[in-house]
Amino acid sequence: MDGSPTSLKRKQTEVNSEAKPEIPVEESVRKRQNIARTCVHEVAVPTGYASNKDELIHGTLSDPIYNGERAKTYPFKLDPFQEISVACLERNESILVSAHTSAGKTAVAEYAIAMAFRDKQRVIYTSPLKALSNQKYRELSQEFSDVGLMTGDVTLSPNASCLVMTTEILRGMLYRGSEVLKEVAWVIFDEIHYMKDRERVLFGKKVLFFLPRH
């Protein structure tokens, strides 16, 4: 192999000539914006749905009214499905958000947590796996000041306003009639697509069934 400086320089030039040209930042941003505009999110409500709150106070789902300050603000404009989800949360209504990766589901979950902090209530954030619970604990600890973790292996700040735990831990608390649940206003189920097989589906249904009606 010819290892002379001239040969190495020639090879480097050939490699660079085959590389794709660098896209300007402005063009890259425009492409991302175009992709975002082509992504459509649909919102579905149950047949015969009627808000359990007076629309004169809270507005409609498509045009919500917020009394006072929002529990949380964002440095970006919320997508329609996020706005409607937030409107439902402010009405103390349950929601199910199903969207692709990086669509903004976490923003909705964080709003529910912020509402609990604002209203001096407690919130539980569950995931089916310990690793996911540990990861979410680290992420939420950067956003909120009072976050705890319960996975069976690790327990941190069990009296925190926001408790991150596995779904199994939540089930155990429900079966024992834990006093903690009396103070909980919201329960967030993350990564529910893991509940695919019959056993996990039945497990999830039991947890939902035993949750307090408040």
pLDDT tens per residue, range 68-88: 678 999 999 989 889 889 988
User: Could you say which of 119, 148, 168 is where a domain stops?
Assistant: 119
**In this predicted model, which residue has the larger pLDDT, 198 or 135?**
135
* Residue that is last in its domain, among 66, 86, 119: 119
List pLDDT tens digits, range 147-175. Answer: 999 999 999 999 999 999 998 999 999 98
- Residue numbers of the domain that contains 167: 121-214
Q: What is the pLDDT of residues 3-26, one digit of tens each?
A: 544 444 444 444 444 444 555 545
Q: Residue 155 contacts by C-beta under 8 Å, 6 or more apart in sequence?
A: 148, 149
CB neighbours of 126 closer than 8 A, spacing ≥ 6?
133, 164, 165, 166, 167, 169, 170, 187, 188, 189, 190
Same domain, 141 and 197: yes
The torsion angles phi and psi of 183, rounded to 5 degrees, stand at: -100, -5
Kindly state whether residue 36 falls inside one of the protein's structural domains: no
Q: How far is 28 from 64, CA to CA, in rounded Å?
A: 34
- Mean pLDDT, range 126-149, rounded to an integer: 95
118 vs 28: which has the higher pLDDT: 118
Query: Does residue 115 sit in the same domain as residue 127?
Result: no
What average pLDDT does this structure show over 119-133? 93
pLDDT in the model for residue 9: 46
Long-range contacts of 156-160 (CB under 8 A, 24+ apart): none
**66 and 108 belong to one structural domain:** yes
Q: Do residues 125 and 212 share a domain? A: yes
Please report the pLDDT score of residue 29 as a whole number: 42
Give the pLDDT confidence of 100-115 residue by residue, as tens digits: 888 899 999 999 999 9
- Domain check: are 131 and 195 in the same one? yes
Please tell me whether residues 110 and 96 are part of one structural domain: yes
Same domain, 136 and 185: yes
Domain total for the chain? 2
- Are 137 and 209 in a shared domain? yes
Q: Indicate whether 118 pLDDT > 60.
A: yes
> Which structure tokens are listed for 168?
């199994």
With beta carbons less than 8 A apart as the criterion, state whether 169 and 150 touch.
yes
SS3 80: helix
HSE toward the beta carbon, residue 173, CA cutoff 13 A: 24
Do 92 and 138 lie in a common domain?
Answer: no
pLDDT for residue 196: 67
pLDDT for the residue numbered 88: 87
**Which of 119, 145, 175 is the endpoint of a domain?**
119
pLDDT at 141 exceeding the cut of 80: yes
Name the residue among 153, 152, 49 with its Cα closest to residue 91: 49
Residues 145 and 156 in one domain: yes
Query: What does the alpha-carbon distance between residue 200 and residue 192 come to, in Å, rounded to a whole number?
Result: 10
Q: Please check whether residue 175 lies inside any domain of the structure.
A: yes
Residue at 102 is within a domain:
yes
**Claim to verify: residue 128 and residue 214 sit in the same structural domain:** yes
State how far the Cα of 134 lies from the Cα of 130, in Å rounded to an integer: 6
Q: What's the CA angle centered on 194, arms 157 and 99, to 5 degrees? A: 95
Helices vs. strands in the chain: H and E counts, helices first: 8, 5
pLDDT at 94 over 70: yes
Tell me: do 108 and 163 sit in the same domain: no
State the DSSP H helix or E strand holding residue 207, giving kind and residue range, or none if neither: helix 198-210
Tens digit of pLDDT for each residue in 170-197? 999 998 888 888 899 999 999 877 666 6
Separation CA 163–CA 174 (nearest Å)? 14
Question: Where residue 181 sits, what CATH number does that domain have?
Answer: 3.40.50.300
* pTM of the predicted protein model: 0.72
- Running DSSP on this structure, what letter comes out for residue 102? T
Residue 150 pLDDT: 96
pLDDT tens for each residue of 25-58 = 455 445 444 444 455 666 677 776 666 666 666 6
